[in-house]
Amino acid sequence: MKDLACLYLLDEIRGYGYEPFVQSFLLGVDRASLTGLEVSPGGDSLWVAEIDGSVYLATAAAGWDDPRQMTSIEGEVHDLELDPAGRLWAACGLPNGNLGEIRRSADGGMTWESIYSGQQVLSIYDIEIEGDNAVAVGSYGTVLIAVFGGQAWGVADPAVFRYQSLYGAAASGPGHFWLVTMDGSLFETPDLGARWFESDLAARPLHAIDFFGPRHGVIVGDRISFHTADGGATWTEAPAEADLRHVSMADSERVLAGGAAGELYYSGDGGASWSGLECGGGEQVYRTAASGDGLFWAAGGNELRRIEDTAPLDCAVYLYNDTIMGSNISFLHEGGAAPERRILMTAHYDSYSADYDECAPGADDNATGVSAVLQAARALRGSSTEKSVEFVLFDGEELGLKGSSYFASTLDPDVEYEAVVNLDMLGYDHGVDRSLLIAGREENAADSLIAELIIGAAADLGLEIYPFFAPGAALSSDHRSFWSMEMPSILLIEGYREELTPRYHTCYDIADFIDYT
């Protein structure tokens, strides 16, 4: 939404006859939380998903350290899976609740369509595809079964699985699927859900299972693992030193497992024994993947780890971070007699609410300030002024005055900046007296002079507003970024902190509650 606001403001500014300049700066870095992982059959492409729905594609040709974001799915992504037709499937959790959904992409992850959801479908954690059939598992006994290439889905009775959450599924044949539960049980169906056979393997959680071919399989859980070489007729226990969360088999012998604290364990004997790997770590491994050439991948936290089965094992770590850029917008009304002397008129255009993920309309805070800056620019267009007036709309004020701080640190040394007038929240009349607070520094002659000029101008122009100076008022806004540079800087605002609109930083800071008179 902020990008749209920026584009709108650029159009408005150009409409007033100015040419805007956009100053980009680093607003922040969000650490990714990787939860989905799938590798192409040839091992040359890798899809990675974040819990927030972002899907990336990395390729050997472009470099594994240069992923491209394909799209962002609404909701959470827990797993990615390719089908034999090359379509990508996603196991998802829907936003604002605990329901789940199966999504599919036919173009490599660029666009997605909803395939199956409903009130009986809770969050989906894993999806396993074998031929034209598929099984997806999730919270509280959610098990979905698909046939005909995923065109027809059904929901199994969660009571069969005792309403236990299931995080792992695997296939040992086209209709032969295996599931593990949080209470240590293993469920097997040889006929695509027509019959289920249960085995109580452990008295602790089992998190994941994988098969290579019809005979070899590995199960991992909380400080325990099992392996089979006879198609699951028997499962042999092997101790594990960590709480293992996911497992992948490259072939019948080479296996990689990832742990809750970021540990990686390798087995060269089909899961009969494990050895720890030194390769990044620190955050839970959510997914592992393998290709037949002995190349393994592990994803968790902001790390994508590549493990190659060489002697010794080779490891590379790629960091996934979302770099968030901010955009300050400035435009200039050039003065005639002294264009190098400049006044700054500013406002911030970003917004915030306590429910920021849902809404942050920011009508009073701070569309009112932005509107005042734009109207001042419109009024000055075509007029002659002695000094230049630079109008600046800041990003990142709500995150700690980041946009104005960056702008202040990059001021042109050849320009003489004489004052800053910052506008923030002008649309609520607390005392119904049309007063306007001017905040500046105590015992600062320059700030006091600006305030006196504003008060005098309001009276001379007969404006029905009544500004007053409140030196030392504890109000934080972008004017403070210029105080460290000893630049005269004041804030115009609707009142003291306790007098601001009661809709401040809420979803109800909307245009309906602005005092336009």
Which of 319, 339, 374 is the C-terminal boundary of a domain?
A: 319
372 and 440 share one domain = yes
270-289 burial: b if 16+ Cβ within 10 Å, else e: bbeebeebebbbebbbbbbb
Collapsing DSSP states into helix, strand and coil, what is residue 349?
A: coil
**Local confidence band at 281 (pLDDT 50, 70, 90 cut-offs):** confident
181 part of a folded domain: no
Instruction: Say how many C-beta atoms besides its own lie within 10 A of residue 477's C-beta.
Output: 25
Radius of gyration of the chain (CA): 30
pLDDT at 494: 94
pLDDT of residue 497: 85
For 38-49, give the DSSP string: EE-TTSSEEEEE
Cβ(339)–Cβ(388) under 8 Å?
A: yes
Mean pLDDT of 461-483: 92
Q: What average pLDDT score do residues 472-479 get?
A: 89
Among 22-26, 30-34, 127-131, 180-184, the least confident range: 30-34
Is the whole model's pTM more than 0.85, yes or no? no
Residue 485 CA neighbour count, 13 Å, CB half = 22
The last residue of a domain, from among 279, 301, 319: 319
Going from the C-alpha of 71 to that of each of 16, 56, 79, 178, 375, the distances in angstroms are: 35, 7, 15, 31, 38
Same-domain check for residues 310 and 331:
no
Instruction: Give the DSSP letter string of 127-171.
Output: EEEETTEEEEEEGGG-EEEEEGGGTEEEE--GGGGTT--EEEEEE
Classify residue 402 by burial, with Cβ atoms within 10 Å: 0-12, 13-18, 19+.
buried
Q: Provide the CATH number for the domain around residue 356.
A: 3.40.630.10
SS3 percent helix, strand, coil of the chain, rounded to 5, is 15, 45, 40
Token pair in block for residue 500:
């601001």
Say which CATH number the domain at 251 has.
Answer: 2.130.10.10
Q: How does pLDDT run across 26-38, given as a tens digit for each residue?
A: 887 677 789 999 9
Structural domain range at position 299: 201-319
pLDDT of residue 31: 72
On whether both 370 and 413 belong to a single domain, the answer is yes
Cα–Cα dist 39/35, whole Å: 14
Residue 384 and residue 403 share a domain: yes
Report the pLDDT averaged over residues 151-174: 94
Residue 209 contacts residue 180 (beta carbons within 8 Å): yes
Residue 435 belongs to a domain:
yes
Say yes or no: 345 and 466 in one domain: yes
Same domain, 445 and 329: yes
pLDDT tens, position by position, 139-151: 999 999 999 887 8
d(Cα 222, Cα 203) in Å, to the nearest integer? Answer: 10
- Give the 3-state secondary structure of 61-105: CCCCCCCEEEEECCCEEEEEEECCCCCEEEEEECCCCCEEEEEEE
pLDDT of residue 441: 94
d(CA 263, CA 223): 12
Nearest residue to 411 via CA among 484, 322, 312: 484
Which tops the pLDDT comparison, 280 or 19?
Answer: 19
Q: Return d(Cα 139, Cα 398) in angstroms, integer.
A: 37
Does 23 share its domain with 41? no
Instruction: Tell me the mean pLDDT in the region 482-504.
Output: 92
The total of structural domains in the chain comes to 3
CA 497 to chain centre: 31
Average pLDDT over residues 147-172: 92
In a domain, 186, yes or no: no
Give dist(CA 424, CA 349) in Å, integer: 10
- Mean pLDDT, to the nearest integer, of 272-287? 89
Say whether pLDDT at 15 is over 80: yes
For the stretch 202-252, pLDDT in tens is 999 999 999 999 999 999 999 999 999 999 999 999 989 999 999 999 999
Spatial separation of the C-alpha atoms in residues 183 and 356, rounded to whole Å = 37
Q: How far is CA 103 from the centre of its chain?
A: 19
Predicted local distance difference test score (pLDDT) of residue 1: 57
Residues 6 or more apart whose Cβ sits within 8 Å of residue 412: none
Asked whether the predicted pLDDT for residue 2 surpasses 70, the reply is no
CA distances from 458 to 421, 430, 499, 514 (A): 15, 19, 22, 21
The reply to whether 293 and 347 lie within a common domain is: no
Q: What is the pLDDT of residue 150?
A: 77
User: Between helices 368-380 and 2-15, what is the axis angle to 10°?
Assistant: 20
Do 382 and 437 share a domain, yes or no?
A: yes
Q: Does 259 map to a domain?
A: yes
Average pLDDT, the chain: 93
Q: What is the pLDDT of residue 170?
A: 98
Cβ atoms < 10 Å from Cβ of 366 = 30
Question: Is position 67 within any domain?
Answer: yes
- Nearest alpha-carbon partner for 377 in 107, 7, 9: 9
- The answer to whether residue 366 is domain-embedded is yes
Average pLDDT rounded to a whole number, residues 444-470: 94
Is 293 contained in some domain?
Answer: yes
The closest of 277, 259, 282 to 267, measured between CA atoms, is 277
As a whole number of angstroms, the distance between CA 376 and CA 274 comes to 70
Q: What is the pLDDT of residue 292?
A: 72
Structural domain contains residue 182: no
CATH assignment at residue 89: 2.120.10.30
Residues 238 and 269 reside in one and the same domain: yes
Rounded average pLDDT over 336-358:
91
In 429-516, where do the E strands start and end? 435-440, 466-471, 489-493
Task: Read off the pLDDT of each residue in 21-49 and give the average, rounded to a whole number.
Answer: 89
Helices and strands, counts by H and E, the chain: 4, 34
Cα–Cα distance, 177 to 463 (Å, whole number): 77
Asked whether residue 39 falls in the same domain as residue 112, the answer is yes
**Which of 319, 344, 366 delimits the end of a domain?**
319
What is the pLDDT at residue 256?
Answer: 96
Edge-first strand listing for the sheet containing 216-228: 206-212, 216-228, 236-249, 255-259, 264-267, 275-277
CB within 8 A of 416, min separation 6: which ones?
340, 341, 342
Residues of the chain above pLDDT 70, percent: 98
Instruction: Give strand ranges (E) for 190-254.
Output: 197-200, 206-212, 216-228, 236-249
The reply to whether 306 and 333 lie within a common domain is no
Give the pLDDT band (50/70/90) at residue 300: very high
